[in-house]
A = this chain, B = another copy of it.
Amino acid sequence: MSDVFDKCSNWKDYRIAKATGLYPYFRSIEASHGATEVEIEGRRVIMVGSNNYLGLSADPRVKEAAIKAVEKFGTTCSGSRLLNGTLALHEELEAKLAKFLNRESALVISTGFQTNLALSSILGRHDIVFTDRQNHASLVDGIRLGFATERKFRHNDMEHLEQLLSAADPDAGKIIVTDGVFSMEGDICNLPRIAELAKQYNARVMTDDAHSMGVLGETGRGVPEYFGLEAETDLTMGTFSKSFASLGGVLAGPFEVINYMRHKARSVIFSASMTPASIAAVLKSLEIIEAEPQRRARLLDIAEKMHNGFRAMGFDTGVSVTPVVPVHIGDQVKCFRFWKALHEAGVFANPVIPPAVEAGHALIRTSFMATHTDAQLDRVLDTFEKIGRRMEVIPETRPTVYEPVKIARPGTGVRSNKASEKWAAGSVGQLADKGGLTLEQLSRMSSREVAGKIFDAVEHLTWRAANLQPADLRKLGGASKRLWEKRGELPGLLLEKGAHFFMRNGQDGTTTTTQAERN
């Protein structure tokens, strides 16, 4: 005779972690000093484990707005948006977010988690949803709560996505759902290729821009703006607990779709609405995000500094090109030990272990705020270097060369990663060999189409980069060399050392024609 509670009493991980002193969770913060430093167990530590990207949670203007809302409207709305929990403030926020995000309509929901659950309301029995295997848990659950058929594609694997799309019933309603920036490893979805495939297979596209809204794109609208593909992205969502210094989320898109979700999504109509303080904090943060682009610029400078700072020491920051900077450790226990050493040395970062990442790919996730000082960042780097050497994650002496990371700057959609020119060119050649595309065909494609294909190939290879052997490189064959030689003839395409490619965004972000530029 078993008991529902048996699994709880039999669960050993917690006791083992506690007993070995390697328990890294639920660390209790006693005080905050401008959000970049916090007190834990009476000790002041540098916070590089937060999603407070723009540092607005401690901004006096944001605090003041929240306080005024409490004074005027109290501490709660005591009910759902549908019935008694809609304040004029909610509507003001929705109107301003719709405008900011360049969408017909926006819907504000009490948590980011529930914002993704709301997706379930449009997933009917005859629909098919195509979802990246590494999408956020709340998207996974939102899809499970819907009634559509689910088709998972391998992380950012566009060939796999295309296979699934081409195998699906052509008459079914389709939607491709992807994180914009993947939260644990900081890499970006291949939206250019997704947009192409969506068009080809008549699918809708939704991006989860939790980690990119306020951070990426010329005006901070997130990954769709970053790629100049807002018109191609039907629905976008963001969360307020990151750049917006609050709690909640937003779904934005066509009026009819948002209005339907407003009335049908269970996580909207059966849940109490955002508190007055939380709405007011988002309203003020949005105002600051629009007025102070220098925050985004500073954040991206910091991201670049940290990526390259870690890399110069010999650390591997993976495929990230965002302020989410994962420091790869590998072994899970070593990762916990690394975390503990950081904790003791006064650096607050987070261990990420399987199943959040693949087995053998445990990492320390760091993430940064526009308000971190260089002195704080240097202390963090210094601490990582000492521990990294002691624990033999990095060599005793710094490597002579490393693959630098170049971070996107507002105004350009820069995509950069550590794949070498060979991999990039080679993989386009590979596509040509496999898919019947010749170099001549490639040269007739629009720059965006080519960029999408390169992105796809680079992304795919980058994922395997850690394990890529010289033999693999050789297998790429002559195509890479030929493409590299002909790169000047391909319109709108720049291949350069490090496999960067550039797409400049147009003015309004929705009708952009991608153009390439030489750096």
Is A510 close to B, CB under 8 A? no
Residue of B nearest to A35 (CB): B74
- Interface readout for A76-96 with B: 1 if CB under 8 Å, 0 if not? 111101111111101100000
- In the complex, chain B residues whose CB is within 8 Å of the CB of A75: 56-57, 62-63, 66, 245-246, 277-278, 281
Contacts known (A70-B277, A86-B26, A141-B266); A122 close to B4, Cβ less than 8 A: yes
Is A272 close to B, CB under 8 A? yes
Interface SS majority for chain A: mixed
Is A330 close to B, CB under 8 A? no
Is A8 close to B, CB under 8 A? yes
Contacts known (A111-B111, A141-B145); A58 close to B83, Cβ less than 8 A: no
Is A392 close to B, CB under 8 A? no
Residue of B nearest to A52 (CB): B78
Q: How far is the CA of A476 from the CA of B170 in the complex (A)?
A: 60
Is A489 close to B, CB under 8 A? no
Residue of B nearest to A249 (CB): B272
Is A406 close to B, CB under 8 A? no
Does A138 lie within 8 Å of B271, measured CB to CB? yes
Q: How far is the CA of A261 from the CA of B5 in the complex (A)?
A: 11
A135 to chain B: closest CB distance in Å? 11
Interface size on A, residues (CB 8 A): 109
Contacts known (A114-B113, A259-B14, A277-B277); A247 close to B266, Cβ less than 8 A: no
Of the listed stretches A214-222, A234-242, A306-314, A320-328, name the one at the interface; the rest are far from the partner chain.
A234-242
> Which positions 271-322 of chain A face chain B at CB distance < 8 Å?
271-275, 277-278, 281
Contacts known (A57-B76, A259-B14); A86 close to B27, Cβ less than 8 A: yes
Q: Please, could you name 25 A-B residue pairs with CB atoms under 8 Å apart, sorted by A?
A: A1-B171, A3-B202, A7-B260, A14-B263, A25-B83, A28-B88, A30-B87, A31-B73, A35-B74, A49-B79, A50-B79, A67-B67, A76-B278, A79-B241, A83-B350, A110-B111, A110-B113, A114-B114, A117-B141, A137-B269, A144-B145, A239-B272, A246-B275, A277-B277, A278-B278
Interface residues of A (CB under 8 A from B): 1-9, 11, 13-14, 25-32, 35, 47, 49-52, 56-58, 62-63, 66-67, 70-79, 81-88, 90-91, 110-114, 117, 122-124, 126-127, 136-138, 141, 144-145, 148, 170-175, 202, 204, 234, 239-242, 245-247, 254, 256-257, 259-263, 266-267, 269-275, 277-278, 281, 348, 350
Q: Nearest 6 pairs between A and B by C-beta?
A: A241-B272, A52-B78, A8-B260, A113-B271, A137-B270, A4-B173
